[in-house]
Structure 1
Amino acid sequence: MAEKTRNPLAQALGLVLQQMRDKMGGVSSSEIAASLGLAASHYRMIEAGSALLQPARAIKVVQTFDTLEFVPLCQVLVCIQIMDGARSSAADMRILADVLTEANPGMAPVFDRFDEVWRVLDNASTSELGKAIAADGIDDALYEFLTTEPVTLGADQMDHFMAPTYQHPLSEQLYSQIGNILQGLAPFYLDTVLQLIDNLRDITPRVTPEELARWEAAHKSRIRYIIGIVRKPEIILDVETFDYSFLWEDDFRRMFVMYRDDPQALDGSVYDKIVGCLRRKYEAERVRYERVLAVFDSTVREKLAVRSGRDVREGIDGLLLHRDMPMNNLWFYFMASGYVVPFIDDAQPGRTSVSPYGTSLDYDETCQKLVQLREVCGDIGFTF
């Protein structure tokens, strides 16, 4: 028996590559090797199953063999790498193959055909193993897997798929993206990602106003909607401090703000006051804001909504409650990716003696707040 058992999945991939090369009309292994940036002898060893094709070559492989699909190829290459660490015996490799099948059920049609291979693997020569792979149709199953485009679930399908686990989905678009990421993620990395998420589960970041401003600036082009629930309307009346520049971002859709308390000593509506202050600010620097002023009226009409929450104060109080502590402002940023990023703080207009407390919310509280938000705000011009 050889010192190390051969890797049957690597040999099966080699057979598939050899068959695909034959179908290309007599292309030599040297030509394929050149396309992949490999030495001819090294590529011949890959086709024989004696050397591993590294995942770093995946893009060049799908460019060379145009019927191969990138994601399935990456999954197979990672599975080969993982199995190569258990070549001490066929029994160890079989156990690992079962684990890989559980982690990536899409590989089941391939691994289900390995029963005879496991029986002969420890003592089989290269040619005998190749015959067993061909006899059980492993190469055919692997070829079908490698040339089948992965199914991308739609928003409705993914939302339904996630429903048993997530009671309050943030958005269908978010779950579609999560599903697509998981479909394309190599099983080797999946456990690491899940562990990282688990470690961050109960940690919410402390966010100062300056840090929030920097976050907004860094992500401005990716923010599509903003919903704000504020206790004092004066917090949004100060146009020198409050950032309304989002309104003139081409991809930004709408900002909606609801305030709880009535404004002090204000003639007219809060909305009219904001619009008037913004207009005067931009007209004072007309050269700088010429582009903004050209579309000022249509932009604020379409993208800015401000509403009193006088009739739903009890609901607003619930929204502004964070871990039994009353807060003053709650902001939801709806990102282009589908993520919803919330921040809550106790900032007050004109308070400078104490640094405001602010934080982002954890997943469960975010979901709860979004449900409350729908109940309190009603129709705000877009759905979430």
Structure 2
Amino acid sequence: MVKKVKNPLAQALGLVFQRTRDKMGGVSSSRIASSLGLAASHYRMIEAGSALLQPARAIKVVQVFETIEFIPLCQVLVSIQILDSVRGSIDDMKTTAEFLTQADPAIGKTLALFEDLWEVIESGQAGRVARKIVSVGIVDELESFLTTEPVALTAEAIDNFMTPTYQYPITGQLYSKIGDILQGVAPFYLDVILELIDNLRGIAPRVTPGELAQWEQRHRNRFSHVIGIVRKPEVILDVDTFDYSFLWQDNFQKMLIIHRDSPKVKTESILSKLADNLKRRYESERIKYERQLLGFDETINRKLSIEYRKEQAAEIDALLRHRETQMNNLWVYIMTSGYAVLFIDNASVDTEATDIYGTSLAYDETCQKLVSIREMCSDIGFEL
């Protein structure tokens, strides 16, 4: 019989409840239980992480603990239920926690701290786990998440905020859209926001391959197309950092990779090599990539295209130039809402990790490159 450990997220929530009671002047657990309509013994088990608080109690919880917000609490309670379904295996819990982080980045900061917890959980000693939950900052992070009011944006505001788009690279609407969103903000806060934006001007964010891969994971269900313009095709064969799992998202339609130089080894196509590498990785992590392995070949053939365009070397060189520096790879992520996010980097198969430089392009450069990318894709016959 498989021994089940305590649900660590449920334990963390119980510790937050204990801390909140203390901040309320040391209200007894019996009194809290009565307010929630629970038996005192059952509520004590919830605080200990031995019993789960059901989502149906969420409204009463926010009425009793006034600092806890309703929506974050519901997110936590659902996450607890999902984790509890795989409590028989530490590995499955770790994988599920990763999925939850990808599905709901808002709770990701809390779940990321669990990385330091799994080894202690395997010991099965609830006391040690509780102390570790506190010492690595999980209770602090979860409390912050639960007590922070979510920012409310309408669907229209979210869809229309980011420009430029692939279809209309130069819209001239960015500033008016920001202005519309900031209307109604108190002047005191508006001054802080404008100062922050002004301080950020001219600062180019440095993005490592690992950070870009994490960004991909968080946004993978929001991509419709991805375009890669690379100097050497071998760079795309690295599947240890990038797992290409967005290809299997229902919203995703097509990935196009254009390479400037010919492959070093011509006995096998780059597409075949990439597919082989991906399949090997997925099979080595079958639990995580079970969905991708189903219909693997059909998805690769339908959604991934690789083009060798030596005759457009000059155009590719121009696209790979960033601030008078020649880079090696340009990635265009086109979201389902239409807007585009561009990253450029100097990575190659021979580049040391410490020497890799990547960044997300500023607004003006993004507009300029999108115009050229559209022309190149049109020549190839790639249309959105």
* TM-score between both structures, scaled by the size of structure 1: 0.50
- Which structure is larger by alpha-carbon Rg, 1 or 2? 1
* TM-score between both structures, scaled by the size of structure 2: 0.50
